[in-house]
Amino acid sequence: MKAWLEAYSIVDFISVGLLLTAVTLNAFKSIESYVKAYTINSWLLACLVAAVAVLMDEPHLYVAALLTLATKGVLIPLFLRKIVRQMRITHIIHPAISNALSLALSSLLVAVVYASLKTGITVTGFSRNVLQIAIAVILISLFIMITRKKALVMVMGLLFMENGLFLAGFSLTFGMPTIIELGVLFDVLMGVIILGIFVVQIRRTFATADLDKLTVLKG
């Protein structure tokens, strides 16, 4: 199993899948598609951790992979789908810029990251490519948060960014101690629940979760 993972560079293949799920956010027009993309992204993240556990023969990483799958891959997506159903509105996203331009700018961000980290950096973890991809995912997530108007989509961007931060830290440290990973995942789960409740309450109070419409309520 270990030799097979090394021969086919499975870690790099999985990390590319993580990047693609982030980039394709720019082409989606519904919140449901964002939730599905986050679910796939989290599954791939759990698979990457499991693959590294096999390669490095680190038992605690198996626990980290299971925790990642349970929280990011199952619990959080279920909660997000429940929020979407409770909002009872059209789930079409109206970005500030066109999807085609968003895809182009996201591709440019990826190119800038790879060009910037091509030389002059020492990575102590298992793969430089994974670190580059993690930073690209973080920047794309931030771009999604800036260019989308729905409050729930901003939450999705924040979740993708957290996955990118998790991947960056993991690529440099081979994984944190299990108790720390458990604490981080619990904090993320609680944060999503709180943000979800806020989004639903905003919708119920102001009959919209569109940020452009909410700004006229100031003052």
Over residues 34-48, the pLDDT tens digits come to 889 999 999 999 999
**For residues 35 and 108, what is the distance between their CA atoms, to the nearest angstrom?**
24
- Condensed to tens digits (0 to 9), the pLDDT of residues 142-156 reads 898 888 877 778 888
Over 50: is that where the pLDDT of 157 sits? yes
Cα 84 to Cα 90: distance, rounded to the nearest angstrom: 10
Give the model's pLDDT for residue 147: 84
Pick from 72-86, 120-134, 204-218: least confident? 204-218
Checking if the pLDDT of 186 tops 70, the result is: no
Provide the pLDDT for residue 72: 86
Q: What is the pLDDT of residues 64-102, one digit of tens each?
A: 888 888 888 888 888 888 877 776 655 566 677 888 888
* Torsion 11-162-97-99 (CA) sign: positive
**Amino acid 192: pLDDT:** 64
Residue indicated by tokens 């948060």? 145
- 178-207: b (≥16 Cβ within 10 Å) or e: eeebeebbeebbeebeebbeebbebbeeee
User: Residue 151, Cβ neighbours under 10 Å: how many?
Assistant: 19
Provide the sign of the torsion angle of the four alpha carbons 95, 99, 100, 104, taken in this order.
Answer: positive
Amino acid 201: pLDDT: 58
CA 8 to chain centre: 25
pLDDT at residue 97, as a whole number: 80
CB 104 within 8 A of CB 137: no
What's the mean pLDDT when you consider all of the chain? 76
Confidence (pLDDT) at 22: 92
Q: How confident is the model at residue 217 (pLDDT cuts 50, 70, 90)?
A: very low
Which alpha helices (DSSP H) does 8-127 contain, by range?
10-23, 31-56, 59-70, 76-87, 99-116
For residue 20, is pLDDT > 90? yes
Torsion angles phi and psi, residue 92, rounded to 5? -75, 135
Residue 210 has pLDDT above 70, yes or no: no
Q: Residue 89 in 3-state DSSP?
A: coil
Residues 6+ apart with CB under 8 A from 200: 83, 86, 87
pLDDT band at residue 175 using 50, 70 and 90 as cut-offs? low
Cα–Cα dist 30/91, whole Å: 5
